[in-house]
Structure 1
Amino acid sequence: MKPYAVITGASSGLGKSIALELAHRNINLVLIALPYSGLPELSDFIRTNIQVDVHYLELDLSDTKSTYQISDYVNNKKLHIKYLVNNAGVLSKGFFTDLSDRFILSQIAVNITTPTLLTKLLLDNLKASAPASILNISSMASFFALPKKQVYGATKAYLTSLSHSLNKELKRDNISVTAICPGGLNTTSWLCYQNRCMGWLIRKTILNPEDASRIAVNAMFKKEKLVVPGVVNRCLMFVDKILPDFIKDYLTNRELKKLNVSKT
C-alpha cells in the first residue's frame, strides 16, 4: 500500500507547494487547511492531474480538538502515514502591545500546540510505517530578535528546539525529524508586493514557495536535521554569530525607530 503524507496549512503558499511536490513523487496525501480556503479544488486538481489519492479535512487548527479529529480520521480510514508535514502557522502582525490576547493565544495554538500534539497523536502510525519522517516548517525568525515578530519568532524557536530533541529521541524508531528555517517567502500577492519593497539584501533572502518546497522535501528524504535554504540566509546566520551584541542592538534599535515612524 502506498504511503500517505499529512500536510497542515496545505491550501496555499508553502504547504500547497509541498503537497504538489510530494504528489509528483507518487505519495498519497491527507491535506488539512481552513474552511473556504480552496482545499476541495486543490484536492480534485491533484487527483485528476497527478493521480494520487487525496483526502482532505477543513479544520481550524487554533482549536485543539482539530488535532484529535485528524487522528481519528486517519485511524478510521486505516491510512498508513509515512510523512507528517507541520506547516500551518500564524504570522505576526504588529508590536506586542498592540496584539490582542485572542490573537496571541491563537498564534501559539497553531504554531506550537497543534504541531506538538499532532506529532504525538500520529506517532504510533508513523512508527508502524517506519522508516518515516516528520518535516517541521520553522523560520529564520527562530534565531533572531525581530521587531513585530516577537511571538512568531518565539513559537518558531520552540518548533526548532522540539525538532532537534525529537530527532534524537525518535531515531531508535527509525523516524527522522527535519526542521527547515526559510527566510521570507512569496506566498501571497500582498507578501510579494511587500517583499519587492524591501532593501536589496532582504530581497535576496526571499524564496518562491516552489523552490523552498523542493529544498524542504529533499531535506526530509535525506533525513537532514536542520536546513536554512538560500546562500544569503546561511551567510546571515554566520554573520549573526560573529557580530558583537552592541552592533546587533544598534541595528535592532534603528529598525525599531523606522517602524515607530511608519506607525505614526
Structure 2
Amino acid sequence: MKSYVLITGASQGFGKALALEFASRKMNLILLALPDSGLPQLSNFIKLNMNVDVRYLELDLSLVENCYAVKNYIRDNNLQIQYLVNNAGVLSRGFFDALEDDFVLKQIAVNITAPTLLIKLLLPNIKTIDNAAILNISSMASFFALPKKQVYGATKAYLTSFSKSLAKELKRDNISVTTICPGGLNTTTRLCYQNRILSWIPRKSVLNPEDAAKVAVNAMLKRKPLVVPGFINKLLLALDKLLPEFVKDKLSNREINKFPETNVI
C-alpha cells in the first residue's frame, strides 16, 4: 500500500518548496491549499516530472468542517498517511488595535485550530504505519515579543509548545514530532523587498524556502524534536537570552518602523 505525505498550505512559498523537496525524494503527496492558489498546476507538474503520485484538495482550513473533509477524503480513498506536515498559516498584518476581528479569528483558526484538529483526526491513520512523523512549521516569532506580530507570534508559540508535549505522548507509538522555527523566508515579492531593507543581521537571517525545506525534511526524517535553521537565527536566539529587555525593545522597534502598518510581515 502506498504511503503519502500530507502538506497543508502547499501551493506557494514554503509549502511549495516542501512539496518539491518531498517529491524529489520520491514520496507521494497529498497537497492542501486555498482555491485559486495554483494547486492543480503544481500538482500536475510534480506528477508529470517527478514520478510520484499526487492528490490535492482545494479548501479553506479556517473552516473546521474542512478539517473533517480532509479526514473523510483520506478514509474514502483508503489512503495511508506516513508524514503530516502542518504548514498553512496566516501571517501578520499590523498593530493589534487596527486589526479586523475576522482577521484575528482567522489567524487563530488557521495557525492553531487547523493543525491541532488535523493531527487529532488523522492520528488513527498515522498510527497504523511504522516510522511515521509529524512536521509542524512554527517560527522564530514564537520565541520573541514583536510589535505587529502579536497574534502570529502567539499562535506559533502555541504550536511550538503543543509539539513538544505531543512528542512525548506519541513516543510510545513510534511517531516523532518535529518543529521547525525558521526566521524570514523569501517566499513572495513583497517579503523579498521587505527582507532586503532590513539591517545587516536580520537580513542575513533570511533563508530561501528551498534551503529551509531541505533542513526541515532532513530534521523530520532524523526525528529531531526542534530545529532552528540558519546560523544567524541560532545566534539571535542565543542573544535573546543574554540581552537586556531595553536593548531588545530598541532593536525590534527600529526594524518594525521600517514597514507601513498595513504590510504583511
Structure 2-normalised TM-score? 0.95
Q: Which moved more, 1:253-262 or 1:242-251?
A: 253-262
Q: 1:205 to 1:130 in 2, by over 3 A?
A: same
Query: 2: CA distance between counterparts of 1:216 and 1:21?
Result: 10
Determine the structure 2 residue equivalent to 1:125: 125
Contact 2:94–2:262 (8 Å) recurs in 1: no
Residue segments in structure 1 that go unaligned for 5+ positions in a row? none
Q: 1:262 to 1:29 in 2, by over 3 A?
A: closer
Query: 2: CA distance between counterparts of 1:170 and 1:86?
Result: 17
Contact 2:94–2:261 (8 Å) recurs in 1: no
Shift of 1:256: 6.3
Shift of 1:234: 0.1
* Amino acid in the other structure paired with 1:248: K
Q: 1:258 to 1:56 in 2, by over 3 A?
A: closer
Query: 2: CA distance between counterparts of 1:2 and 1:138?
Result: 28
SS at match of 2:60: coil
Determine the structure 2 residue equivalent to 1:15: 15
Determine the structure 1 residue equivalent to 2:147: 147
1:53-109 deviation per Cα after TM superposition (whole angstroms, max 9, x unaligned) = 111000011111110000000011111100000000000010000001000000000
Check if 1:229 corresponds to 2:225. no
SS at match of 1:134: strand
SS at match of 2:6: strand
1:141-200 deviation per Cα after TM superposition (whole angstroms, max 9, x unaligned) = 000000100000000000000110011110000000000000000001111111111111
Q: 1:191 to 1:259 in 2, by over 3 A?
A: closer
Q: 1:182 to 1:261 in 2, by over 3 A?
A: closer
Check if 1:75 corresponds to 2:60. no
1:114-165 deviation per Cα after TM superposition (whole angstroms, max 9, x unaligned) = 0000000000111001210000000000000001000000000000001100
RMSD of the TM alignment (CA)? 1.7
Contact 2:39–2:58 (8 Å) recurs in 1: yes
SS at match of 2:127: helix
Determine the structure 2 residue equivalent to 1:165: 165
Contact 1:32–1:58 (8 Å) recurs in 2: yes
Query: 2: CA distance between counterparts of 1:254 and 1:40?
Result: 41
Residue segments in structure 2 that go unaligned for 5+ positions in a row? none
Check if 1:36 corresponds to 2:36. yes
Query: 2: CA distance between counterparts of 1:260 and 1:103?
Result: 18
Q: 1:254 to 1:21 in 2, by over 3 A?
A: closer
Q: How does 1:161-240 map to 2 (within 5 A)?
A: 161-240=161-240
Query: 2: CA distance between counterparts of 1:262 and 1:173?
Result: 45
SS at match of 2:55: strand
What is the count of residue pairs matched by the alignment?
263
